[in-house]
Amino acid sequence: MIVAFDLDGTTLDSMGELEALAVSYMCEGYGVEQELARCWYRQSVGLPFREQLETTALPGHLANPEIARRFERDKAKIYVGLPLFPEVQGVMSSLEHLAVDTALVSSTKTALVERVADRWQLPCLTYGYDGRRRWSKTRQLESLAITYDDVLFVGDARSDLDTALRAGVRFVGINRGAPWSYFGLGVVVVNDLYDVLGCLK
């Protein structure tokens, strides 16, 4: 069995910084107010940023490639310096002691995912978006799972639940400030990654 952790907002405390970058470039590129840009960003968080622009922001807008380019450029500059959530290393080492494999799955570029894992010495497999065949998080999870119980995916966004459903794997939501995203959906939501240890079968 493998416990697969989403990276942004689940493992890495990155959402505040990434949202600020995204909102700033969307406001500049589209000429819209911050509140609207923030709303668009939050609606599709968890997807690769370019896909966010093409789904919940302004699909087909001529500014999308440049907004995405600037966002990715600045994200790469700050990303590896961002902190992990405090319980991450302890939880991963507890899972290692239990002989449970771990993985990071992400819509972030593979090289950045690997640098984060290296910086914090995380004992896990790493998957990113621009790796083999530009694998989405769904394909990353599918590559780890043969049966439903092979993978427990832990994520912080509503789109992570959809990803788990598409990949046919188990899902646990982590409450990082928006637990209502899962209300009424029958999803197990934990408040701390240590609680995931109680969700292993």
**Is residue 104 within a helix (H) or strand (E), and if so which, with residue range?**
strand 101-105
Two tokens, residue 126: 């790493």
Q: How many angstroms from the chain centroid is the CA of residue 80?
A: 15
Q: In terms of CB distance, is 15 or 26 closer to Mg ion?
A: 15
Two tokens, residue 33: 């107010």
Q: In terms of CB distance, is 152 or 157 closer to Mg ion?
A: 157
Q: In terms of CB distance, is 28 or 114 closer to Mg ion?
A: 114
- Closest separation between CB of residue 175 and Mg ion, Å? 12
If you search the block for the tokens 């690769």, which residue do you land on?
48
Note every long-range contact of 163-166, with CB atoms under 8 Å and residues 24 or more positions apart, other chains counting.
163/46, 163/136, 163/137, 163/138, 166/138
- Closest separation between CB of residue 7 and Mg ion, Å? 7
- Closest separation between CB of residue 11 and Mg ion, Å? 8
Burial 120-147 (b: 16+ CB within 10 A, else e): bebebbbbbbebeeebbbbbbbbebbee
Residue nearest to Mg ion (CB): 9
Q: How many angstroms from the chain centroid is the CA of residue 18?
A: 12
- Closest separation between CB of residue 152 and Mg ion, Å? 16
- Closest separation between CB of residue 155 and Mg ion, Å? 6
Q: Name the residues that contact Mg ion, by CB under 5 A.
A: 6, 8-9, 46, 156-157
Q: In terms of CB distance, is 57 or 156 closer to Mg ion?
A: 156
Q: In terms of CB distance, is 9 or 173 closer to Mg ion?
A: 9
